[in-house]
Amino acid sequence: MSPLDIPRRLLERLGAADSVVVFTGAGMSAESGVPTFRGAEGIWSRFKPEELATMSAFLRNPQLVWDWYAHRRTIIATVQPNEGHRAVADLEHLVPRVAVITQNIDNLHRRAGSTVVHELHGNIERNYCVKCGAPHEMGSERASPEVPRCAMCGGLVRPDVVWFGELLPEEDWEAAVRAASGADVCISVGTSGVVYPAASIPAIARKAGALHADVNPEPGPLSEAADVFIKGLAGAVLPVLVQHLEKLRSRPDIAVPGEGR
């Protein structure tokens, strides 16, 4: 990516920012090889959501649902954070406050080094009991094909992810709204912007005065409302953004590169 592909307006706001929110979706992790939910090759193009990602489906056939999530965990365990994930983590060295708000459940942001991560749709590496709510550590059971049972009450153990029809985790959602409301810049990356209430995060940030930049291979609902749209993959765009921000932070007297828009 050429320096001229980064809008000057975004660089100037980032250079002066005290707080940045990065809002990520499935496209971010797709660059690491994690299958997406949507699109022609997405997970749900081959399976019906109501058969795999609802509480009623789990109670009706817990083994089927558990096997599906075990398969997804196996895939995620084989992939690594990409350059986009690592660039987001590097922002923490350049901006006083950086919060990642993600719709992804793969834990790649934390694995890349980000320390403030609000997971709106849960984390596939965690599990809990549907009966008593106690967290469940997999341990040696990772290799077992059977659905685990809670050591406390004997209830079924499910993945700690948000299924269709369920509310977002209250603590993470409230923290995400606070972060968005206090951000100087909000960067949305690799998200379709159609899954609510998560997709309202950029609008919350803009309402509070933040500049919103959308990074995506193709324009979508979020890019249409954004202050800045950068067409490209996270792994190509975000490292360049961080490189320019490093220069600005170390030499605030230098001219800001990029296009005048």
Residues that are catalytic: 121
In whole angstroms, give the CA distance from residue 106 to residue 68: 14
Question: Position 247: which residue type?
Answer: K
How far is Cα 3 from Cα 226, in angstroms, rounded to an integer? 20
Rounded distance between C-alpha atoms, residue 235 and residue 84, angstroms: 4
CA distance 133 to 160: 10
Q: CA angle at residue 143 from 142 to 149, to 5 degrees?
A: 55
CA dihedral of 15, 22, 92, 34, whole degrees rounded to 10: -140
Biggest CA pair distance of the chain: 64
Secondary structure in 3-state letters for 154-194: CCEEEEEECCCCCCCCHHHHHHHHHHHHCCCEEEEECCCCC
Q: How do 97-102 and 19-24 pair as beta strands?
A: parallel
Query: Minimal CA–CA distance to 131: which of 146, 120, 143, 147?
Result: 147
Q: Which residue has the tokens 């997406």?
A: 36
User: Using CA atoms, how far apart are residues 14 and 243, in angstroms rounded to an integer?
Assistant: 12
Could you tell me the two tokens for 45? 């193009």
Residue 244: CB atoms within 10 A of its CB come to 20
